[in-house]
Amino acid sequence: MANLTSNFIGIKSPNPYWLASAPPTDKAYNVERAFKAGWGGVVWKTLGAEGPPVVNVNGPRYGAIWGADRRLLGLNNIELITDRPLEVNLREIKQVKRDWPDRAMVVSLMVPCDEESWKAILARVEETEADGVELNFGCPHGMSERGMGSAVGQVPEYIEMVTRWVKQHSRMPCIVKLTPNIADIRKPAEAAMRGGADAVSLINTINSITSVNLDTFSPEPMIDGKGAHGGYCGPAVKPIALNMVSEIARSPDTQGLPISGIGGVTTWRDAAEFLTLGAGNVQVCTAAMTYGFGIIKELTAGLSQYMDEKGFSSIDQLVGRAVPNVTDWQYLNLNYVAKAKINQDLCISCGRCFAACEDTSHQAISMSPDRKFEVIDEECVACNLCVNVCPVQDCITMEAMPKGAVDPRTGEPVRDYANWTMHPNNPMAKAAE
Amino acid sequence: MPATKGEPMSNSLTTPGIVAGRLHPEDYTRHFDDLYPDYAAHEAMVAADRCYFCHDAPCITACPTDIDIPLFIRQIQAGQPDAAGKTIFDQNILGGMCARVCPTETLCEGACVREAAEGKPVEIGRLQRYATDTLIARNAHPYTRAAPTGKRVAVVGAGPAGLACAHRLALHGHDVTVFDARTKPGGLNEYGIAAYKAAHGFAQAEVDWLLQIGGVTLRQGWALGRDGSLADLQADHDAVFLGIGLAGVNALGLADDTAPGARDAVEFIAELRQAPDLSTLPIGRHVVVIGGGMTAVDAAVQSRLLGAEHVTMVYRRGRDAMGASDHELSHAANEGVKIITHAMPVAIHANGSLREVEFAYTHPGETGLEPTGETFRLQADQLFKAIGQTLDGAPDALTLAGRKLAADAEGRTSLPGIWAGGDCTGDGEDLTVTAVAQGRDAAESIHAALMGAGA
């Protein structure tokens, strides 16, 4: 049976699933329930500086989008960092870590952007014997208006500066949490690395308005008729997160920088995908907030079964396994030729492939009077839209043509690998030989 | 089936003969309530989500009224069931009743690609009911009459064909008078289908809603031939539409088939539908229904629901030749109706009142069905005959096609100025939805004729 034990930048946990810094990790009561359920670790909900506690709105903090049967697809929130006194949080962190020494206890922090503030809070956190800190440079709402959270995360120089302070004033491992609300995720990651960060975690939430109430003309979630953008998370953001994780994992400038993957992890499969794209562990929030802590049983059992089936005995063997296959468009093989193929035994004749191809693509599917749908190889560019709109799994597949076979669309044989950098239409192309 | 709670019964399931009050009072309400209650909003959303919005969807082709089914389901998905209702009514103004009585398994749902894929079609009928009920409940008629044309049209028969025709004619601005022999409008919707298919007075509510278009006058208690002739109608109107249905019933042709206890199923169903208190309606302990169509099923199932202990439905051919759909037959079997096929009645044994019905097993022979020689008897206090209805009371001047009125694709009969549609025409299955389509199309034909050049 696969060993799920995780060692992320020296922080050990029985499995690679941590609860992300968020409402589920706001106090001892929740965290203890999580540990009892089997979670590997937590990032305690973000602590602020000493002083009057943060206040939250007293109306809806969350908004959502759903599928037809109310499956929650995306969640947005406007909650701020912890609104409990610093003293209480620190006392509870210390107690929980003592009671659960085998679990990862990382503390998320967000204080004003001056060295003294950071120095002060770090000293307090160290006393709790927590395993590390995570710098919240990601929250896109509320705190960012006060020069914290994503306001720091959007300026690489600030990230580097604050990270440097943290490493200077603390011996604890330091994870820098990145905001996705930027143009190029590699820049803040590089800044964190320069500042001495032990790891980055991403993604934090994405600026969002979930919907508009068409009676009151208020954005949702709505507070007394008004709405402010929140941070978007949940299954809907996973593709964005996977890309950003892979960008950092494959960039030569951040090579080897450990990554904690966050963003829509809902099942073991999502977690495995993050790991293969270079995440050393994953953090989960929305799935737990939707279904409760009990999902950890599926998350761990599923990952374990997958690893057994694939012959992986430890998490490390999975981490980064897909990274070499992430490349730039210019290096994709332009001589790879595939054709859509419709399995007539599985086809239920709904005609969605036909409508999609005929109306919006390449007119490469024919329809007979008796509703038989067939691919016209002479027109098919293998765009995959028919596969994506077909309601029957594996009914339409993309079949690669063997080398040497003639593509009926172009009349050209399938040739050896060649990409855009070698293509004759590319004015910048280098000679193939 | 019958429970044993509440007040004591005057009679019970085992009381001999034909008696009323076999059940506890509350059981009648339960037994004859909506067979398939309307969707709740969330259920409808989930059911609608299963629709694939097929290209050139097979369900539309399968619908006799050509309702744009994927469109109305998408409108439900988009949170506007009333707009979905309008999409349905544009094609089928009796879409509410059709949602309840259509044999969807052989029409839209039978053609649904998910039926082919999984044996579980999108529940189009129930979605249609959700949409149409939502719009009707708003009690705001979604159509506005065109400016009056000054043309007058007589519609004979206030059943599905006549009502669909009248509504479409009124929509175009014509003045319509609907003549109907019964006390209430609705035709078979009001008198001829099982109560649990049109519970809570839906048939009358639908007529009331439909008449909100304006320009339609109902004249109940007026029978063609008895209260006026076709010539009378033609003298007072610019066109006439006949939606007179099939008023006659086929006879068994056996001695004693009018013995006390033997009656036509349509008459029983009509009486049941109009009964103010079902606990006063007598029903036999042993009931035999002869026939294999929807009328036979409705009579058999409702006999059980009234408390008949043994109900047997007997049909002379095989199950595949039955007019009733598989769904209807399964429902009957679930309600405890015993179904015997390949048997024809050969004798009725009465002794003052009905005692037994004797049947001979059949097999297909050279000259049609032939008895195998084996016979059996079923004990019977009550016998319902449901072996088909026939055209009755049609004006002699009209040409027949087979046993029904001859009419072309637009509903034109052999006489100029006379159109016809519904069960009195055609050679099909006499479906409500087909009648609606024919009434609607005849109205368009009449409109074109009245407003065309030289009209």
Residue B1 scores a pLDDT above 70: no
Q: Which two tokens stand for residue B89?
A: 């009514």
User: Which among B113, B137, B161 is the end of a domain?
Assistant: B137
Active site residues of A: 139
Using the Cβ of A73 and the Cβ atoms of chain B, whether some distance falls under 8 Å is answered with no
Q: Do B52 and A352 touch (CB under 8 A)?
A: yes
* CB-based contacts of B346, cutoff 8 Å, min separation 6: B254, B358, B359, B360, B371, B375
Q: Do residues B168 and B107 share a domain? A: no
Q: How far is A215 from chain B (nearest CA, A)?
A: 14
Assess if residue B17 is contained within a domain.
no
B446: left (phi over 0), alpha (psi -120 to 50) or beta: alpha
On chain A, the residues whose CB falls within 8 A of the CB of B53 are 352
Q: How many helices (H) and strands (E) does chain A have?
A: 12, 20
> What's the whole-number mean pLDDT along residues A374-394?
98
How many of the other CB atoms lie within 10 Å of CB of A432?
A: 10
Using the Cβ of A69 and the Cβ atoms of chain B, whether some distance falls under 8 Å is answered with yes
> What's the whole-number mean pLDDT along residues B11-39?
93
Are A113 and A158 within 8 A, CB to CB?
Answer: yes
* CB-based contacts of B102, cutoff 8 Å, min separation 6: B108, B125, B431, B432, B433
Assess if residue B188 is contained within a domain.
yes
Tell me: the pLDDT tens digits for B293-309? 999 999 999 999 999 99
Which is higher by pLDDT, A428 or A307? A307
Q: Do residues B170 and B228 share a domain? A: yes
On chain A, the residues whose CB falls within 8 A of the CB of B56 are 351, 367, 371
pLDDT on residue A254: 97
Please report, for residues A105, B288, B295, the alpha-carbon distance to residue B292 in angstroms, rounded to integers and kept in the order given.
74, 12, 8
Tell me: the pLDDT tens digits for B85-109? 999 999 999 999 999 999 999 999 9
Q: Do B49 and A355 touch (CB under 8 A)?
A: no
Q: Do B45 and A349 touch (CB under 8 A)?
A: no
> What's the whole-number mean pLDDT along residues B126-135?
97
How many of the other CB atoms lie within 10 Å of CB of A298?
A: 14
Any long-range contacts for B44-47 (C-beta under 8 Å, 24+ apart)? B44/B76, B44/B81, B44/B127, B44/B130, B45/A68, B45/A69, B45/B76, B45/B77, B46/A68, B46/A69, B47/B122, B47/B123, B47/B126, B47/B127
**Helix or strand holding residue A207 (H, E):** strand A206-208
pLDDT on residue B60: 98
Assess if residue B88 is contained within a domain.
yes
Q: How far is B144 from chain A (nearest CA, A)?
A: 27
Assess if residue B10 is contained within a domain.
no
B404: left (phi over 0), alpha (psi -120 to 50) or beta: beta
Assess if residue B56 is contained within a domain.
yes
Closest CA to B294 of B225, B386, B384, B385: B386
For residue B70, what is the nearest residue in chain A, using CA coordinates? A350
Residue A276 burial class via C-beta count within 10 angstroms: exposed 0-12, middle 13-18, buried 19 and up? buried
Q: Do residues B156 and B132 share a domain? A: no
Q: Do B54 and A350 touch (CB under 8 A)?
A: yes
How many of the other CB atoms lie within 10 Å of CB of B149?
A: 18
Q: Do residues B126 and B73 share a domain? A: yes
Q: Which two tokens stand for residue A167?
A: 């490493």
Selecting from A68, A351, A392 the residue whose C-beta is nearest the C-beta of B54 gives A351
* CB-based contacts of B271, cutoff 8 Å, min separation 6: B281
Put the strands of the sheet holding B368-379 in their side by side order.
B343-351, B353-365, B368-379
Selecting from B46, B52, B114 the residue whose C-beta is nearest the C-beta of A68 gives B46
At B220, the amino acid letter reads Q
Assess if residue B5 is contained within a domain.
no
Q: Do residues B71 and B172 share a domain? A: no
On chain B, the residues whose CB falls within 8 A of the CB of A371 are 56, 58
Any long-range contacts for B404-412 (C-beta under 8 Å, 24+ apart)? B405/B242, B407/B438, B409/B441, B410/B441, B410/B442, B410/B444, B410/B445, B411/B241, B411/B438, B411/B439, B411/B441, B411/B442, B411/B445, B412/B442, B412/B445
Q: Which two tokens stand for residue A405?
A: 């076979």
- The DSSP output letter for A318 is T
> Which residues are B344's β-sheet partners?
B360
For residue B116, what is the nearest residue in chain A, using CA coordinates? A348
Q: Do residues B402 and B375 share a domain? A: no
Tell me: the pLDDT tens digits for A33-73? 999 999 999 999 999 999 999 999 999 999 999 999 999 99
Are A24 and A335 within 8 A, CB to CB?
Answer: no
Tell me: the pLDDT tens digits for B143-172? 999 999 999 999 999 999 999 999 999 999
User: Which among B105, B137, B169 is the end of a domain?
Assistant: B137
Using the Cβ of B110 and the Cβ atoms of chain A, whether some distance falls under 8 Å is answered with no
Mean pLDDT rounded to a whole number for chain A: 96
Assess if residue B7 is contained within a domain.
no
Using the Cβ of B254 and the Cβ atoms of chain A, whether some distance falls under 8 Å is answered with no
Q: Do residues B259 and B300 share a domain? A: yes
* Most distant pair of Cα atoms in chain B: their distance: 71
- The DSSP output letter for A196 is T
CATH number for the domain including B213? Answer: 3.50.50.60
Q: Do residues B304 and B293 share a domain? A: yes
Are B138 and B84 within 8 A, CB to CB?
Answer: no
Residue A432 scores a pLDDT above 80: no
Q: Do residues B354 and B282 share a domain? A: yes
Q: Do residues B307 and B361 share a domain? A: yes
Using the Cβ of B113 and the Cβ atoms of chain A, whether some distance falls under 8 Å is answered with yes
User: Which among B338, B358, B388 is the end of a domain?
Assistant: B388
The ipTM assigned to this model is 0.89
Q: Is B389 helix (H, G, I), strand (E, B) or coil?
A: strand
Output the DSSP codes for B29-54: HHHTS-SSPPPPHHHHHHHHHT----
pLDDT on residue B366: 87
CA distance A237 to A206: 8
Q: Do residues B254 and B243 share a domain? A: no
How many of the other CB atoms lie within 10 Å of CB of A165?
A: 20
Domain boundaries, position B274: 250-388
Tell me: the pLDDT tens digits for B367-376? 889 999 999 9
CA distance A62 to A72: 12
> Which residues are A323's β-sheet partners?
none
- CA atoms A329, A333, A337, A341: torsion sign: negative
CA distance B324 to B317: 13
> Which residues are B389's β-sheet partners?
B249
Tell me: the pLDDT tens digits for A261-308? 999 999 999 999 999 999 999 999 999 999 999 999 999 999 999 999
> What's the whole-number mean pLDDT along residues A167-185?
97
Assess if residue B419 is contained within a domain.
yes
Are B89 and B71 within 8 A, CB to CB?
Answer: no
pLDDT on residue B455: 46
CA distance B151 to B145: 14
Best probe of the A interface among B43, B49, B54, by most A CBs < 10 A, is B54
Q: How many domains are contained in chain B?
A: 3
Q: Do residues B384 and B275 share a domain? A: yes
Residue B2 scores a pLDDT above 90: no
Output the DSSP codes for B411-423: -B-SSTTEEE-GG
pLDDT on residue B259: 87
